[in-house]
Amino acid sequence: MSSKVKFYSKEFSSRLLIGSALYPSPKIMQDAIKAAGSEIVTVSVRRESAGGKTGDAFWSLIRELKVTVLPNTAGCKSVREAVTTAKLARELFNSSWIKLEVIADDETLQPDVVGLVEAANILIKDGFEVFPYCTEDLSVAMKLVDAGCKVVMPWASPIGSARGIVNRDALKLLRQRLPDITLVVDAGIGAPSHAAEALELGYDAVLLNTAIAKANDPVAMGNAFRLAVEAGRAGFESGLMGARDFASPSTPVVGTPFWHAVS
């Protein structure tokens, strides 16, 4: 890729963040992450804290990849639960990074944006570097930035839906209004083209899990997403042409000779 992406004080070459759940086997998980070239992997704090020997084995597999771990508060439904889980993550992983999730609805897994902002405020004051999972709402994103978040992670569409970006204009507005914030499209990415579109909009990275883990060939799909993210970012940095409402010939006709049949 042509440039690096910064998450708080750390820089990375890959703009593809990957989740570690749902893979057919630990070996396939490792191979898919390697094929994707991802340098940051999200890990569920709940699985690690409740996994016993299984959790220890999983953590060993993650360490072998030599990636940066981004623990998350997946499944938390209250501010108190999310804050407690984040503090546990800091002890388990010896990291101030936390992907903050506070879920409002079991069916859509939509974030509780009020609770999210409250939890972010608490954690940032406690020294955490917060990666908040939110909707594409500008006012929520601005409140998270005001709280001290230097990374904001709006969804493309609900988690696991594979619908891709459903509110393109809102995501474009977020990018325009928060030019100095690292923005990551998180959730709803179902195809490499969805990831490329997010990077073409100027987003700094994408985070996904299901689209790779549940593919017929997760390793090949990991590679496909790697290429898509690289292409999307290269397109953005090269300067994409704007869409038009009218045709514009690619071959000029001025000065071009025309032949007419002679009867």
Cβ–Cβ under 8 Å, residues 13 and 1: yes
Q: In 3-state terms, what secondary structure has residue 153?
A: strand
Q: How far apart are CA 244 and CA 200, in angstroms?
A: 17
Q: How far apart are CA 156 and CA 170, in angstroms?
A: 10
| φ/ψ bin of 246: left (φ > 0), alpha (ψ from -120 to 50), beta (otherwise) | beta
| Active-site choice (4, 10, 99, 214) | 99
Q: How far apart are CA 15 and CA 38, in angstroms?
A: 7
Q: For residue 146, with 0-12 CB atoms within 10 Å meaning exposed, 13-18 middle and 19 or more buried, which class applies?
A: exposed
Cα-based angle 236, 6, 2 (whole degrees, multiple of 5): 40
Annotated active-site residue 99? The verdict is yes
Which amino acids are annotated catalytic? Answer: 99
